[in-house]
Amino acid sequence: MRLIILSISFFYLIFNSTAKTLEENDHFNVSLDFEARTSILVSKMTLEEKISQLGNNAPAIPRLGVLEYNWWNECLHGVARAGTATVFPQAIGMAATFNPSLINNVAVVISDEARAKHHEALRNNDYSQYKGLTFWSPNINIFRDPRWGRGHETYGEDPYLTGQIGTQFVKGLQGNDSKYLKLVATAKHFAVHSGPESERHFFNANVNQRDLWETYLPAFEDLVVDANVYSVMGAYNRVNGESASASNYLLQEILRDKWGFNGYVVSDCGAINDIHANHKIVKTPEESAALGVITGCDLNCGGIYQRYLQESVTLGLISEKEIDTAVYRLFLARMKLGMFDPAEIVSYAQIPFDVNNSQKHDELSLKTAQSSMTLLKNNGVLPIDINNIKKIAVVGPNADNRNALLGNYHGTPSNPVTFLNGLNNYVGKRAEITYSKGVDLVKDGADGLNLLSDSIIKDVKKADLAIFVGGLDATWEGEEMPGGINVDGFYNGDRTRIEMPEIQQKAIKAMIDTGTPVVLVLMAGSSIALSGLEKELDAILMAWYPGQRGGDATTSVLFGDYNPGGKLPVTFYSSTSELPDFKDYNMHSGKGFTYRYYKGEALYPFGHGLSYTNFKYSKLTTDKTNINEKETFKISFNVKNIGDYDGDEVVQVYIKDLESKLKMPIKQLRSFKRVSLNKGDEKIVEFEFKPIEDFSYYNSNEQKYMVDKGSFEIQVGSSSQDIRLKKIIYVD
């Protein structure tokens, strides 16, 4: 396949009278290191050619054998927008697995499919968008407020969980070859970005230093330092007055100087234009373009660099040398991806196209969806005994809604399995299934779906069990939707209220009133308040946006073929009134954001998730009780499955500062592990901690992490509120 690429390049060269032959172009000389080859290539470019390469859609430079390339590619939970591909659960669902190694496996599959698609595109001379190797995933912003529409793209509200899941996702995408990158992953959106969507192009996030370093930056540091992510995307908003995509503090002082990042930075699409047009930091696009490059944003999605940088140089706003730095970083990435080497020496170029959408990948999508299923309530109605059920009434707008499987930034599944598909596949002729959409997700449709009809209520009354499948889909919560959905409860991609839409509440209440047991299956990407219905429902299963095998995964849990083990990566609040001002980025405001600061009583707390079996925790021990801040210490405890089913338990360890006079988080997740236990089995679980890393806070005056010495409580449990074991550690 590389021979085809070389022949294309050679075709360009022989028709350029000033070009050397391909063999004479030293940037193709594989005996040189990538850095030398990149320097040689950049030195041969004219200023105009250099500037042409700084946009997401970079044109070819025929005389140098440089092919056109589009940097914009997506793979949030599968290769997106590039045709048929395996679709995994949305990112928030992957976080609910609390299983970083599983997510690494998912990312390996995604990168296999991405490589296969890229090289197939090259064979067909296709250099279009979404066919490249540089991917704008993952989104590791902190899901600070459940109203944020893009929250389901993230790994939830906790910095530690986000960093652990994100690190493994990046490693799976970028591969482990000693020479070549498999893909380039992009940690986004750097930084302090979590709504409101309607104001993202001009909003200024005012954030204090402690919240910046303790909440908004840790996951980015994990991905840069531990996962060696090769790309970082800036955010649209300002952070304390600076454009996040042109911030010397964020992009130079923190990212490169402090963390040692050596990849490239890309702007969010249109963010450089916002610098003058909306943020009013400078007056002209020429100034915006120059400021972006000078502060460390190497690649512009949106075209400002390509249109205005030449004039910026003429005006003396930027030098060619400063432009060279950005061009060098971008071409070094392309070199490391093997784009200038023969395909036969790039191992990742050998991945066959038929891995895409393979049965093996489909099975992993099912496994991941099953692992993400989070059981919020169960009064004993689950698992369903198919032998004791003759009739099941299924109602709800997400029961046969393919959109509810996919979330956003998704590929095209070849055989998506909705809940209704999965139920029919499982039940077959063993029971009668009646189905009606019943109501719309949010508002009355053209068909007047407002209240459940008499015939639906009659079916529910006659049934042994009723299942309502509702929630939301990505047409209601997601990225900025200007001029789009602005109905009551929703605004431009965000939610203005977290309560379940009234139309669904009425339908569920009508079903409950029949006396038939009712199970609620929620498909959504964020927490939903149920306005008291949780007290009347017999069971509630949070299925997230579960991917192409979502229907099979959900059904397997309801009938007990798979014992749910997912946990909430977000807090479920009881009402919108529990939330602080959406625009306030101070984590302590009001009753506080997220479980780390929230002072109220959650509907379902962070880390919550039930099982069909029971787990007993015991024998918490520590190898030390008095330590200094740089010492390590170990804890161990036993977990035993004392129920009747095999199952998984996510053991969670939280740290609580007991003595500090400073404002500290109520508690913080500092370790977790998903443990599989057959019924009757018992395992010893061990973790290691270091106070300077796990007990620390950010001292704004000293500009570093420090430990406020005193007593700390080690809390071990099944959720942030279900704490089973405690132990005190003293830091001298």
Which residues does the annotation mark as catalytic?
A: 268, 477
Contact, 566 vs 371, CB < 8 A?
A: yes
- 8 A C-beta contact, residue 333 and residue 90: no
**Cα–Cα distance for residue pair 391/138, rounded to 1 Å:** 43
Q: Is the peptide bond before 564 cis (omega within 30 degrees of 0)?
A: no
Residue in the block written with tokens 């200094």: 628
The set of residues, in sequence order, having a beta carbon less than 8 Å from that of 281 and lying 6+ positions away, is 238, 242, 243, 246, 275, 288, 291
- For 441, residues 6+ apart whose C-beta sits below 8 A from its C-beta are 397, 398, 401, 470, 471, 472, 473, 476, 501, 503, 504
Q: Which of 718, 406, 723 is nearest to 568 (CA)?
A: 718
Contact criterion met (CB below 8 Å) for 243 and 275: yes
714 in helix, strand or coil?
Answer: strand
Q: Is the dihedral of CA 241, 593, 696, 161 positive or negative?
A: negative
Burial 485-520 (b: 16+ CB within 10 A, else e): beeebbbbbbbebbbbbebbbebbebbbebebbbbb
Sign of CA dihedral 701, 706, 710, 711: positive
Cross-strand partners of 435:
394
Please confirm whether the linkage preceding 191 is cis (ω < 30° from 0): yes
Spatial separation of the C-alpha atoms in residues 481 and 682, rounded to whole Å: 50
- Dmax over CA atoms of the chain, in Å, equals 84
User: Do residues 261 and 290 make contact, with C-beta atoms less than 8 angstroms apart?
Assistant: no
Q: How far are the Cα atoms of 407, 522, 532 from residue 528, in angstroms, in the given order?
A: 16, 9, 12
Nearest Cα neighbor of 653 from 610, 607, 701, 592 is 607
Q: Cβ distance 332 to 34 under 8 Å?
A: yes
Backbone torsions φ then ψ of 13, nearest 5 degrees: -70, -40
- With the CA atoms of 697, 702, 708 and 714 taken in that order, what torsion angle do they form, in degrees rounded to the nearest 10? 20
Beta strands in 380-531 (DSSP E): 391-395, 432-436, 465-471, 490-491, 494-495, 518-523
Q: Are 281 and 275 in contact (CB under 8 A)?
A: yes
Beta bridge partners of 80: 74
**C-alpha–C-alpha distance, residues 190 and 554, integer Å:** 35
